Amino acid sequence: MDLQLIAESIPQLLSGVPLTLQLVVLSLFFGAFLAVGTALMRLSPNPLMSAPAYGYVFVFRGTPLLVQIFLVYYGVAQLEIVRESFLWAFLKEPYWCAILALTLNTGAYGSEIVRGGLLSVPRGQMEAARACGMSGPTAFRRIVFPQALRQALPAYSNEIILMVKGSSLASTITLMEITGIAKRLISNTFAPIEIFIVAGSIYLAINYAATRAIAVAEWRLTPHQRPRIDPTPAPRGTGLPGPLRSRGRRARSVTSAH
Q: Which residue has the higher pLDDT, 251 or 206?
A: 206
The percent of residues in the chain predicted with pLDDT above 90, rounded, is 53
Q: Is the pLDDT reported for residue 241 higher than 60? A: no
Q: Is 243 strand, coil or helix? A: helix
In the structure, what pLDDT confidence band is assigned to residue 85 with cuts at 50, 70 and 90?
A: confident
> Domain residues of the chain, as ranges?
3-225
Residue pair 116/151 in contact (Cβ under 8 Å)? The answer is yes
Q: At what angle do helices 192-221 and 178-189 cross, to 10 degrees?
A: 170
Give residue-wise pLDDT tens across range 146-192: 888 888 888 888 999 999 999 999 999 989 999 999 999 999 988 89
The CATH code that applies to domain 3-225 is 1.10.3720.10
User: Mind spelling out the 3-state secondary structure of 156-194?
Assistant: HHHHHHHHHHHHHHHHHHCCCCHHHHHHHHHHHHCCHHH
In the structure, what pLDDT confidence band is assigned to residue 42 with cuts at 50, 70 and 90?
A: very high
DSSP per position, 104-159: HHHHHHHHHHHHHHHHHS-HHHHHHHHHTT--HHHHIIIIIHHHHHHHHHHHHHHH
pLDDT attached to residue 103: 96
Q: What residues contact residue 129 under an 8 Å CB cut-off, 6+ apart? A: 138, 139, 142, 143, 144
pLDDT attached to residue 250: 47
Give residue-wise pLDDT tens across range 186-204: 999 888 999 999 999 999 9
